[in-house]
């Protein structure tokens, strides 16, 4: 089933992203890091390339169509960020003291990695950070600098990612707990709706039986002499009323008419419907099976019973005086 968000045209999704803060965040991200890049001593043209390289993952993150980032986009993000670190480090190889804003791209990479943690890609984010740390240490060694210089450029970004990861984990746990609570509420509302629907159906069925009993009730109220047919009809109505209260799911089936006919013949019919989980198709076959046995019963007592069977089926049994049969449908 298509999500309502995906059904929106691109212009509407863009507007939702803008109103939701996604585009505003991306613009702020680019402005801040462009300002940092402009104050560095590196190559300005290459800084523009690096800015585009760190901006693309942010665009993917704010424009994603689900709560997760696809594997293809994740791999592309890893490649872009590692390439950004390598190209950026090469661009400042001649800078004497790269501990200021010259390594601005490392901070931008850290913000991209924070975005990965928000979408649940914790392992990927830390893998990229380890690769970036390795690149910084290798850059220091290859440029003839102490390892502490390379470590000093990246250590604060590692701390930023650590704090962001802890925050993202907390947010995801809170969201999971909230979603579980909402699921419980939805299930409870569904159960209440089903209960109300069943009660309404039962009440409607009882009212129908009472409507049928109206003429008989008026005859009793008028103290009219009752015939044998009247008494038989009263037994039929009494049984129908009992069935509507106990077994409302039998209403509308072929068995309903067969039961009324059998009671008019003088058969004492008792129905027990205990199959709450039975599939509709299995229940229909079981009711037809009962109807066939009841049609062959001319008098005496008939007991029909439906019960659930483990695995999703229904067990149906009929007892006619001392003669019993049963079957299982699934």
Per residue in 226-251, pLDDT tens? 666 666 667 676 666 666 666 666 66
Residues 27 and 174 in one domain: yes
Say if residue 310 is exposed, middle or buried (CB neighbours under 10 Å; 0-12, 13-18, 19+). exposed
Residues 152 and 275 in one domain: no
Q: CA dihedral defined by 168, 170, 171, 172, rounded to 10 degrees?
A: 90
Q: How far apart are alpha carbons 251 and 259 in whole angstroms?
A: 11
Would 72 be classed as within a structural domain?
A: yes
Task: Quote the domain boundaries for residue 168.
Answer: 4-186
Q: What rounded mean pLDDT belongs to the chain?
A: 80
Would 60 be classed as within a structural domain?
A: yes
Helices (H), the chain: 4-7, 10-20, 22-38, 44-62, 71-91, 104-118, 122-142, 147-221, 228-246, 254-264, 280-295
> What pLDDT is stored for residue 15 in this prediction?
47
Q: Which two tokens stand for residue 165?
A: 């990861």
Number of domains in the chain: 2
Residue where a domain terminates, one of 186, 205, 222: 186
* 22: Cβ contacts below 8 Å, ≥ 6 apart: 62, 63
State the DSSP H helix or E strand holding residue 96, giving kind and residue range, or none if neither. Answer: none
What Å distances lie between residue 4 and 9, 64, 120, 185, CA to CA?
Answer: 11, 14, 23, 22
For the cut 50, the answer to whether the pLDDT of residue 2 exceeds it is: no
Would 106 be classed as within a structural domain?
A: yes
Residues 274 and 144 in one domain: no
Residues 142 and 26 in one domain: yes
Statement: the pTM of the whole predicted model exceeds 0.75: no
Tens of pLDDT, residue by residue over 42-70, are 556 788 898 999 999 988 888 776 667 88
| Helix/strand/coil percentages in the chain, nearest 5 | 70, 10, 20
3-state secondary structure of 217: helix
Would 88 be classed as within a structural domain?
A: yes
Q: Which of 105, 108, 23 is nearest to 61 (CA)?
A: 23
Residues 57 and 136 in one domain: yes
Highest mean pLDDT among 33-47, 129-143, 268-282: 129-143
Q: Which two tokens stand for residue 295?
A: 């049609």
Would 48 be classed as within a structural domain?
A: yes
> What pLDDT is stored for residue 3 in this prediction?
46
> What pLDDT is stored for residue 149 in this prediction?
86
Residue where a domain terminates, one of 164, 186, 208: 186
Q: How confident is the model at residue 100 (pLDDT cuts 50, 70, 90)?
A: low
Q: How far apart are alpha carbons 19 and 246 in whole angstroms?
A: 55
Residues 19 and 158 in one domain: yes
> What pLDDT is stored for residue 311 in this prediction?
76
Residues 152 and 9 in one domain: yes
Residues 152 and 256 in one domain: no
- Picking from 30-34, 185-189, 223-227, which range would have the lowest pLDDT averaged per residue? 223-227
Residues 29 and 174 in one domain: yes
Q: Which of 73, 71, 132, 59 is nearest to 51 (CA)?
A: 59
Residues 30 and 132 in one domain: yes
Residues 172 and 313 in one domain: no
> What pLDDT is stored for residue 163 in this prediction?
92
Residues 109/85, Cβ–Cβ less than 8 Å: yes
Residue where a domain terminates, one of 142, 161, 186: 186
Tens of pLDDT, residue by residue over 292-323, are 988 888 888 898 889 888 877 889 999 987 78
Would 301 be classed as within a structural domain?
A: yes
Q: How far apart are alpha carbons 233 and 260 in whole angstroms?
A: 9
Say if residue 296 is exposed, middle or buried (CB neighbours under 10 Å; 0-12, 13-18, 19+). exposed
Question: Across the strands, what pairs with 323?
Answer: 320
Residues 181 and 261 in one domain: no
Would 236 be classed as within a structural domain?
A: no
Would 200 be classed as within a structural domain?
A: no
């Amino acid at each position: 089933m298509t999500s309502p968000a995906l059904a929106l045209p691109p212009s509407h999704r863009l507007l939702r992203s803008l109103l939701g803060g996604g585009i505003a965040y991306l613009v702020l991200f680019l402005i801040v890091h462009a300002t940092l890049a402009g104050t560095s001593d590196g190559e300005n043209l290459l800084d523009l390339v690096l800015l585009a390289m760190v901006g693309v993952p942010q665009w993917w993150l704010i424009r994603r169509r689900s709560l997760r980032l696809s594997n293809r986009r994740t791999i592309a993000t890893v490649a872009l960020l590692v390439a950004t670190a390598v190209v950026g480090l090469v661009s400042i190889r001649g800078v004497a003291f790269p501990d200021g804003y010259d390594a601005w791209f490392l901070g931008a990479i850290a913000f991209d990695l924070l975005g990965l943690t928000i979408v649940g890609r914790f392992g990927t984010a830390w893998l990229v950070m380890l690769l970036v740390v390795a690149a910084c240490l290798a850059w220091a060694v290859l440029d003839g600098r102490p390892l502490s210089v390379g470590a000093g450029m990246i250590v604060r970004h590692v701390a930023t990612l650590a704090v962001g990861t802890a925050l993202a984990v907390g947010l995801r746990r809170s969201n999971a707990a909230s979603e579980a609570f909402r699921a419980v509420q939805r299930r409870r509302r569904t159960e209440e709706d089903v209960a109300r629907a069943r009660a309404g159906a039962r009440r409607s069925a009882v009212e129908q039986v009472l409507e049928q009993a109206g003429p008989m009730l008026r005859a009793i109220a008028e103290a009219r002499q009752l015939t044998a047919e009247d008494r038989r009809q009263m037994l039929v109505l009494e049984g129908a009323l009992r069935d509507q209260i106990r077994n409302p799911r039998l209403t509308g089936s072929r068995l309903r008419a067969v039961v009324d006919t059998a009671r008019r013949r003088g058969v004492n019919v008792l129905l027990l419907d205990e199959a709450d989980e039975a599939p509709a198709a299995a229940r229909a076959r079981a009711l037809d099976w009962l109807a066939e046995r009841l049609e062959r019963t001319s008098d005496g007592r008939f007991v029909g019973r439906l019960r659930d069977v483990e695995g999703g089926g229904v067990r149906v049994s009929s007892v006619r005086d001392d003669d019993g049969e049963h079957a299982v449908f699934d």
